[in-house]
Amino acid sequence: MNTLSETIETGPDANLIVPQENEGAFREQQFEDTVGDVTHPNPRISCREVDVYYDHGAVHAIKNVTLDIGTGEVLAMIGPSGCGKSTILRCLNRMNDSIDGCQVSGSIRLDELDIYDKNLDVVLLRAQIGMVFQKPNPFPKSIYDNVAYGPKIHGLAKDKTDLDEIVQTSLERAALWEEVKDRLGQPGTGLSGGQQQRLCIARAIAVSPEVILMDEPCSALDPIATAKVEELIDELRQQYTIAIVTHSMQQAARVSQRTAYFHLGHLVEVNTTDKVFTNPQHHLTEAYITGRFG
Amino acid sequence: MTSPANSTVDIVRAGLPKRYARERRFRLMGMLAIGLGLVFVAILFLDIFSKGYTAFQQTYVRIQVHYDGSVIDPAGTENPDTLAFADYMALLKQSLREVFPEVTDRRAKRDLYQLVSPGAGQVLRDRVLANPEIVGTTEEVWVLANDDIDMLVKGHIDRDLPESNRRLDDRSLAWFDRLVDQDAIEKRFNITFFSSGDSRQPEQAGIAGALMGSFYTLLLTLLFSFPLAVGSAIFLEEFAPKNKWTDLIEININNLAAVPSIIFGLLGLAVFINFFGVPRSTPLVGALVLTLMTLPTIIIASRSALKSVPPSIREAAMGIGASPLQTQFHHVLPLAMPGMLTGTIIGMAQALGETAPLLMIGMIAFIVDVPQGFTDPATVLPVQIFLWADSPERAFVERTSAAIMVLLAFLITMNLTAVLLRKRFERRW
Ligand SMILES: Nc1ncnc2c1ncn2[C@@H]1O[C@H](COP(=O)(O)OP(=O)(O)O)[C@@H](O)[C@H]1O
Ligand SMILES: [Mg+2]
């Protein structure tokens, strides 16, 4: 598939250039509605009119975003730095709770469950929605303990053999088992960057979540490690719903079925990945994927 | 193309000597400062060592003792109480008179008895109590010499001084010389210094009481302050909302760290002793006061240890569904622990060397018995040093220095442990 390079070669359109005067009003008017199809016939997570503020309202990071993440799909979130990709992702498992002064309004649901329900147990939610971070962050414990930690605290394993099995299958699914099976007792921090990230993925899937959130999981990895993780994401799709934030459009094109383009806190366009990269509907999307800004 | 590049190089090169000179000057000043510090430390150590090392030896006198039954146990009861309270000094006096039969008048006899320590009978008592069979027999015993004799042996009494300016008169010197001729004077390892409590007699004074006092006090201080401080640090750092109240608390913790320690002593006197009725002069009340003092140190160190744990570890744990408490205890605390322990050891080292607040709560009392628990009257090492430094006898000078050496040894060990701990657990993320 070389659609991407074709787009880049044939893409640019002179009328995309934003006029300098009266820029603010021009932008607001442009963002009114999200272009494309924000819904999914079989949604797992659905966000409706979500607004997120930081610093007790001083920073408006996410503006009126409505978006579905479908069961069994990989949704890629792209957009320039600071557009709010991480923010919306972290809302989905309430990781923003620990940030002082962060306010979320609107509704976010996991199936029928209201994620921002006052009575919702965050611990339970995070057992259902796992997360992989930008920088690999294994615990400074053994490889085994890294993977076993989640099942242990949630009481998922009946006994030691059960736990061993969970650890092994998780590492196998994360395509790491072959590389580490002889040194499970060694510290996870001693692995290479790519291995650490796969270890973090194994750690996330060890608790059998329904959804996995990934925030630029490959940005700290070399191309070979990146390829491995991407391969892995494709396989994980069979069982999990995945939302992935990425800076690399090639990556979005390779791993995702749908792509959401964010700009300054607005969700500008959502479409199938194919469509976004071959035939973007919004001129901002087109400008971004053709490398005009980002 | 080449000329502007060249001119840049020229300008930079012209300025280089000045830059390097500045760097050299700075390094020189740094080395000077460190050198000066080291010189002073060396002088301090040398002075203390040269004054104190002689205290680890003590002069003993060999005496032929007859365990006279009519003196020890006139009634022949063999009752341990009778044996314990018998006048063993009388036996020693008897023996001394036998060694120097020419001494007859009262004054001379009194001076003669001054050759041995007033507490020298102790050894005889211990031997008899250990084995009552020896009553009635005769044996050779090494007993403590008096501090003047000890000083003479160690060269601190000048024989060339006029007699009136000397602690020992000519007659005593002559007796001493005769004992030396008989090989009855010997310097031995000073076990008393490590095994007994304080005493008015320098030759009988030891640091065991102060050491045990320090041990009990520090143990309690550690037990009180560590959990409290670590708990406060975790709460303030990880759970408390960041608002003006927590700011106020933080400022006051820092203030507390800067409060002169004597104030804590006054507070302890007013609150713990006078209000709560905690017994004075005890390790318990000492530990309470020292806890107040070390809390801020440990809290501040613990907070910075917690701060240095990367947030990514917390996120990882939270992201997997660990509760805040699990995140703390499974992940953050183990990583912060070396830093917390380092802070604690430094706080304990401070507490070990602390004197002023303990004076206020009566730990300066003259206590002969070695404390056996947390509520026995006790003193601590630095206070013992203070007490001895204040005593007029020449023999206390070397004991003061020796006690300082012991204190320094403990302090250095503790600080070394802190440094090693930090090295050992230093992590790279
Ligand atoms: N903890 C925070 N406090 C205040 N502002 C924040 C915080 N985190 C992010 N922001 C702001 O919110 C906006 C979106 O940030 P983020 O979601 O991290 O962007 P992205 O991941 O797309 O690069 C940015 O303008 C950023 O400055
Ligand atoms: Mg981000």
* pLDDT at residue number B3: 56
A56 touches B: beta carbon within 8 Å: no
Is ligand 1 within 6 A of the CB of residue A264? no
Distance (Å, rounded) from C-alpha A53 to C-alpha A65? 13
Is ligand 1 within 6 A of the CB of residue A260? no
Phi, psi torsion values for A142, nearest 5 degrees: -70, 160
User: Residue ranges per domain, chain A?
Assistant: 52-273
Share of chain B above pLDDT 70, in %: 98
Short-list B85, B65, B60, B61, CA closest to B75: B85
Query: Which segment of A23-27, B191-195, B405-409 scores lowest on mean pLDDT?
Result: A23-27
Span A192-238, pLDDT tens digits: 988 999 999 999 999 999 999 999 998 888 888 889 889 889 888 88
CA of A79 to the centre of ligand 2 (A): 10
CATH assignment of B208-425, among 3.30.420.40, 1.10.4080.10, 2.60.40.4070, 1.10.3720.10: 1.10.3720.10
The band of A293, judged by pLDDT with boundaries at 50, 70 and 90, is low
* pLDDT at residue number B135: 87
Is ligand 1 within 6 A of the CB of residue A83? yes
**Tokens representing B111?**
């001076």
Distance (Å, rounded) from C-alpha A54 to C-alpha A282? 28
Distance (Å, rounded) from C-alpha A263 to C-alpha A84? 8
Short-list B249, B331, B348, CA closest to B293: B348
* pLDDT at residue number B209: 94
Distance (Å, rounded) from C-alpha B141 to C-alpha A70? 97
**CB contacts, 8 Å: A138 with chain B:** 316
* pLDDT at residue number B412: 92
Q: For all residues of chain B together, what is the average pLDDT? A: 90
**CB contacts, 8 Å: A139 with chain B:** 313, 316-317, 331
Q: How far is B225 from chain A (nearest CA, A)?
A: 28
CB–CB of B401/B48 below 8 Å? yes
C-alpha angle B15/B21/B22, rounded to 5°? 90
* pLDDT at residue number B48: 93
**Tokens representing B118?**
């007033």
* pLDDT at residue number A1: 39
Distance (Å, rounded) from C-alpha B415 to C-alpha B247? 31
User: Residue written as tokens 């109480």?
Assistant: B81
Predicted model pTM: 0.81
Distance (Å, rounded) from C-alpha B381 to C-alpha B287? 14
For residue B262, what is the enclosing H or E element?
Answer: helix B261-268
Give per-residue burial for B50-67: e unless 16+ CB within 10 Å, then b: ebbebbebbbbbebebeb
The conformation of residue B145, written as its DSSP 8-state character, comes to B
More confident position, B211 or A15:
B211
Distance (Å, rounded) from C-alpha B130 to C-alpha B197? 21
Greatest C-alpha distance within chain B: 119
CA distances from B366 to B170, B386, B387, B401 (A): 34, 12, 8, 19
The band of B5, judged by pLDDT with boundaries at 50, 70 and 90, is low
Short-list B293, B157, B165, CA closest to B218: B293
First-to-final CA distance of chain B: 46
The sign one gets for the Cα dihedral A124, A208, A162, A174 is: negative
Span B186-219, pLDDT tens digits: 999 999 999 999 999 999 999 999 999 999 999 9
Span B19-29, pLDDT tens digits: 999 999 999 99
Neighbours of ion ligand 2 (CB under 5 A): A 86
* pLDDT at residue number B429: 46
Fold of domain A52-273: Rossmann fold (3.40.50)
User: Residue written as tokens 């107040």?
Assistant: B292
**CB contacts, 8 Å: B323 with chain A:** 123
Phi, psi torsion values for A257, nearest 5 degrees: -95, -35
Distance (Å, rounded) from C-alpha B411 to C-alpha B382? 12
Q: Which ligand is nearest to the CA of A85?
A: 1
Q: For all residues of chain A together, what is the average pLDDT? A: 86
Predicted confidence (pLDDT) at residue B68 exceeds the cutoff of 90 = no
Predicted confidence (pLDDT) at residue A17 exceeds the cutoff of 80 = no
The residue whose CA is least distant from atom 12 of ligand 1 is A61
**CB contacts, 8 Å: B313 with chain A:** 137, 139-140
The band of A34, judged by pLDDT with boundaries at 50, 70 and 90, is confident
Query: Which segment of A3-7, A80-84, B234-238, B402-406 scores lowest on mean pLDDT?
Result: A3-7
Span B71-129, pLDDT tens digits: 888 887 878 888 888 889 999 999 999 999 998 889 899 999 999 998 888 888 988 88
ipTM: 0.82
Predicted confidence (pLDDT) at residue A25 exceeds the cutoff of 50 = no
Helix (H, G, I), strand (E, B) or coil at B152: helix
The band of A8, judged by pLDDT with boundaries at 50, 70 and 90, is very low
Report the length, in residues, of chain A.
294
Predicted confidence (pLDDT) at residue A7 exceeds the cutoff of 50 = no
More confident position, A199 or A11:
A199
Burial of A188 (0-12, 13-18, 19+ CB in 10 A): buried
**Tokens representing A232?**
């892995």
Q: How far is A94 from chain B (nearest CA, A)?
A: 9
Share of chain A above pLDDT 70, in %: 88
Short-list B124, B125, B143, B128, CA closest to B184: B143
Mean pLDDT over residues B141-150, rounded? 92
Distance (Å, rounded) from C-alpha B30 to C-alpha B26? 6
Predicted confidence (pLDDT) at residue B149 exceeds the cutoff of 50 = yes
Distance (Å, rounded) from C-alpha A260 to C-alpha A272? 9
Q: How far is B319 from chain A (nearest CA, A)?
A: 6
Find the Cα–Cα–Cα–Cα dihedral B190, B192, B195, B198, rounded to 10°: -130
A211 touches B: beta carbon within 8 Å: no
Is ligand 1 within 6 A of the CB of residue A98? no
* pLDDT at residue number B23: 95
First-to-final CA distance of chain A: 23
Predicted confidence (pLDDT) at residue A9 exceeds the cutoff of 80 = no
Is ligand 1 within 6 A of the CB of residue A81? yes
Mean pLDDT over residues A107-130, rounded? 91
* pLDDT at residue number B427: 59
CA of A61 to the centre of ligand 2 (A): 12
Mean pLDDT over residues A167-189, rounded? 92
Predicted confidence (pLDDT) at residue B413 exceeds the cutoff of 80 = yes
Span B150-164, pLDDT tens digits: 999 998 888 888 888
Short-list A282, A281, A217, A224, CA closest to A252: A217
Predicted confidence (pLDDT) at residue A2 exceeds the cutoff of 90 = no
CB–CB of A207/A154 below 8 Å? yes
Q: What secondary structure does DSSP assign to A204-235, as a single string?
A: HHTT--SEEEEESTTTTS-HHHHHHHHHHHHH
* pLDDT at residue number A32: 61
Predicted confidence (pLDDT) at residue B384 exceeds the cutoff of 60 = yes
Q: What secondary structure does DSSP assign to B81-101, as a single string?
A: HHHHTS-HHHHHHHHHHHHST
* pLDDT at residue number A59: 93
Residues in contact with B204: Cβ distance below 8 Å, sequence separation at least 6, in sequence order: B117, B119, B144, B192, B196
Helix (H, G, I), strand (E, B) or coil at B302: helix
Helix axes B244-258, B283-307, angle to 10 degrees: 130
More confident position, B80 or A263:
A263
**Tokens representing B218?**
């520090």
* pLDDT at residue number B396: 93
Share of chain A above pLDDT 90, in %: 63
* pLDDT at residue number A31: 55
Short-list B266, B356, B342, CA closest to B304: B342
User: Residue ranges per domain, chain B?
Assistant: 56-189, 208-425
CB–CB of A69/A256 below 8 Å? no
- For a pocket test of ligand 1, which of A87, A89, A98, A246 has the largest count of ligand atoms closer than 8 A to its C-beta? A87
* pLDDT at residue number A12: 39
Is ligand 1 within 6 A of the CB of residue A90? no
CB–CB of B201/B119 below 8 Å? yes
Helix (H, G, I), strand (E, B) or coil at A264: coil
Residues in contact with B25: Cβ distance below 8 Å, sequence separation at least 6, in sequence order: none
- Indicate yes or no: CB of A207 within 8 angstroms of CB of B316: no
A291: left (phi over 0), alpha (psi -120 to 50) or beta: left
CB–CB of B406/B211 below 8 Å? yes
The conformation of residue B201, written as its DSSP 8-state character, comes to S
Span B243-256, pLDDT tens digits: 899 999 999 999 99
Helix (H, G, I), strand (E, B) or coil at A239: coil
Distance (Å, rounded) from C-alpha B366 to C-alpha B377? 9
Burial of A24 (0-12, 13-18, 19+ CB in 10 A): exposed
Give per-residue burial for A255-273: e unless 16+ CB within 10 Å, then b: bbbbbbbbbbbbbbbbbeb
- Nearest chain B alpha carbon to A193: B429
More confident position, B5 or B346:
B346
Short-list B222, B331, B231, CA closest to B283: B222
* pLDDT at residue number B387: 93
The Cβ-side half-sphere exposure at B227, using a 13 Å CA radius, reads 4
- Indicate yes or no: CB of A139 within 8 angstroms of CB of B313: yes
Predicted confidence (pLDDT) at residue B52 exceeds the cutoff of 60 = yes
